[in-house]
A and B are shown apart, each in its own frame.
Chain A
């Protein structure tokens, strides 16, 4: 059963780029993958550990800028750029975690939002390094072991590899003591501490892990689009990241996959509505959270279970 599932997933992953008719759609597919990683990042922090963040775009941006600078200024290739992005965002994770430990709830949301703004303003104004609002041009496509990921289709496989690794890690970690510590902190901070969990330490870990996911996504984004500017890392993007996890289902590993697809496909699919599309987009999202509290994935899961049960019952009836 598990094997067929894996084969099925592998088949879907391989078929997607073959079926994709043009570069426009391929770009959307790749953005979905990047948002799955970003959705996973906020899922660690908010979904599992219960620390609401409205500043994820800052980590995403720091990751992207690190790669852009390492590549254009120092001429580094994909792997060192990726490592650099991960390390620097991890550092920013600690930087945000320290003040974040002192506040909770709406104050934490405001703090993280402010963090996002500060990072964006630094991107705009630190011209000698970031090149200001003009952004950084001429980032190279990655070349790995002599293979150039120079088209969107080739690049797709590189991103998918990171999505799989990211989700697999997430799936493993939540079934260890670390994952249980995260959930315990979300459920009851003080009871967690009095169950022997170093709450401070694990909150920092959650911030760092979340930042690392964003750093990876930032590196992948910078090398795909090959141009970055502060416009890409606004508060608006932070909310899209948050929505990706909310719509998909906070606290579920597969939630951000669903959320990533919906949040990227919906605005494109609604383009025919012209100026009204954002209104309709907003209304659809509102309906989703009102009708499906806890996100779509738990409902999809339930649906699949009932279908499977019915099938099993039907099979049993046939045999009997």
Chain B
């Protein structure tokens, strides 16, 4: 069953159509990629899925339910988490606190419970901490958990963002250029980590990426967009042989 289905979604900014009738399906447990040249509208698609932008047309169905018009935090609650192209951690909070913040929508303690139900509060807090440390261990960040997020290395910050997203127990994880700024060795590690995450947390992953090597190595299904329109979709092999895609990336040959 498709966990996420974009049905002909369109986004217009005034007279400019940034995304024009893009359709896309992500199956449960699948790793999919959305690629395209700069300015093709990839991040706009992400922003529509996460509710940051409202769609101008079409429908987004997640887990059998339309999520158009929902607020971002409600969409996260439903099970879509994302990371950012330019890392956006809670910089002066610790690594552990960053992940614990991710558990927000899965926990309940309110401002009055602190006074009236201190027991429940303490229990939930201990559980959140334990589960967060588990995620950090999984990502190999347990050692640095008490450091401020801004003080850990760049690669770790990227992982931490994924950790914070995992804390919301997503069914679908959106990764916005996860390999940006990484060297080839780090990229290899990242590919392994992404597969490991999918297998351990049983979720589907949709990623936007520029790095072709990474995309071709990891994706089971690739959708290519250019100028806001879908130009191709298929497996890595099919995409590599598609003339429209080659043209979009390399330009048209004149003969």
Rounded to whole angstroms, the CA-CA distance of A263 and B89 in the bound complex is: 34
Complex alpha-carbon distance, A305 and B129, angstroms? 25
Which positions 124-152 of chain B face chain A at CB distance < 8 Å?
Answer: 124-125, 128
Please determine whether B90 and A169 come into contact, CB atoms closer than 8 angstroms. no
Choose among A178, A192, A196, A198 the residue that contacts B109 (Cβ–Cβ < 8 A).
A178
Task: Name the one of A169, A172, A181, A198 contacting B101, with C-beta atoms under 8 angstroms.
Answer: A181
Cβ of B91 under 8 Å from chain A: yes
CB distance from A211 to the nearest CB of B (A): 13
* Contact yes or no, B104 A195, CB < 8 A: yes
Does B111 sit at the interface, judged by CB under 8 A? yes
Expressed in whole angstroms, the minimum distance between the Cβ of A188 and any Cβ of chain B is 5
Contact of B88 among A169, A183, A190, A198 (CB under 8 A): A190
* Bound-complex Cα distance A181 to B76 (A): 15
The yes or no answer to B159 lying at the interface (CB within 8 A) is no
Q: Nearest Cβ in chain B — how far from A236, in angstroms?
A: 31
Q: Is B72 an interface residue (CB 8 A)?
A: yes
Complex partner residue of B125 from A169, A175, A191, CB under 8 angstroms:
A175
Report the separation of the CA atoms of residues A130 and B168 in the bound assembly, to the nearest whole angstrom. Answer: 50
Residues of B with C-beta under 8 A to A169:
114-115
Do A196 and B84 have beta carbons less than 8 Å apart?
A: no
A205 within 8 A of B: yes
In the bound assembly, the distance between CA atoms of A187 and B72 in angstroms comes to 17
Stretch among B92-100, B189-197, B207-215, B237-245 lining the A interface: B92-100
Mask: chain A, 173-189; 1 = CB below 8 Å from B; 0 = not = 10111101101100110
A181 / chain B contacts, CB cutoff of 8 Å: 101, 104
The A-contacting residues of B in range 96-127, CB under 8 angstroms, are: 97, 100-105, 107, 109-111, 114-115, 118, 121, 124-125
Which B residues lie within 8 Å of A188 (CB)?
88-91
Most interface-central of A169, A172, A176 (chain B CB within 10 A): A176
Most B CB within 10 A of own CB, among A183, A192, A193: A193
Give the tally of cross-chain contacts (CB within 8 A). 91
Beta-carbon contact of B90 and A176 below 8 Å: no
In contact, B91 and A176 (Cβ under 8 angstroms): no
Distance of A81 Cα from B162 Cα, bound (Å)? 50
Q: Given A173-B111, A187-B93, A205-B111, A194–B72 Cβ distance below 8 Å?
A: yes
Candidates B84, B109, B164; contact of A176 at CB < 8 Å? B109
Number of interface residues of A (CB under 8 A): 25
* Residue A216, interface by CB 8 Å: no
Given known pairs A177-B103, A180-B101, A187-B93, the reply for A195 and B110 (CB within 8 Å) is no
A170 to chain B, nearest CB (A): 10
Instruction: Let me know if A26 is at the binding interface, CB within 8 A.
Output: no
Q: Which residues of B contact A191 (CB under 8 A)?
A: 84, 88-90
User: B230: CB under 8 A from chain A?
Assistant: no
Check A176 against B77 for contact (C-beta < 8 Å): no
Interface hits, B58-90 → A, CB 8 Å? 71-73, 76-77, 81-82, 84, 88-90
B88, B91, B121 pick with most chain A CB within 10 angstroms? B88
The residues of A that contact B84 with a CB separation of less than 8 Å are: 191
Residue of B nearest to A172 (CB): B114
- Tell yes or no: A209 within 8 A of B by CB: yes
**Chain B residues whose C-beta falls within 8 Å of the C-beta of A183 in the assembled complex:** 90, 93, 97, 101
Q: Given that A181-B104, A187-B93 are contacting pairs, would A195 and B114 also be in contact in the complex, using a CB cutoff of 8 Å?
A: no
For residue B50, CB closer than 8 A to chain A, the reply is yes
Q: For the complex, what is the distance from the CA of A191 to the CA of B87, rounded to whole Å?
A: 10
Q: Which of the residues A176, A178, A196 comes within 8 Å of B105, measured between beta carbons?
A: A196
| Complex Cα gap A134–B93 (Å) | 48
Q: Which residues of B contact A184 (CB under 8 A)?
A: 90, 93, 101, 104
Check if A195 sits within 8 Å of B76, measured CB to CB.
yes
Q: Are A176 and B88 in contact (CB under 8 A)?
A: no
Chain B interface residues (CB < 8 Å from chain A): 50, 52, 71-73, 76-77, 81-82, 84, 88-93, 97, 100-105, 107, 109-111, 114-115, 118, 121, 124-125, 128, 164-165, 168
Closest A-B pairs by Cβ, 3 of them? A196-B105, A196-B76, A187-B90
Taking Cβ atoms with an 8 Å cutoff, the residues of A that contact B are 169, 172-173, 175-178, 180-181, 183-184, 187-188, 190-199, 205, 209
Known A-B contacts: A177-B107, A192-B101. Give 7 more (CB < 8 A). Answer: A172-B118, A187-B89, A187-B93, A188-B90, A193-B72, A196-B81, A197-B105
19 residue pairs of the A-B complex, CB under 8 angstroms, read A173-B114, A176-B114, A177-B103, A177-B124, A180-B93, A187-B89, A187-B90, A190-B52, A191-B89, A193-B72, A193-B73, A194-B76, A195-B104, A195-B164, A195-B165, A197-B73, A197-B101, A197-B105, A205-B111
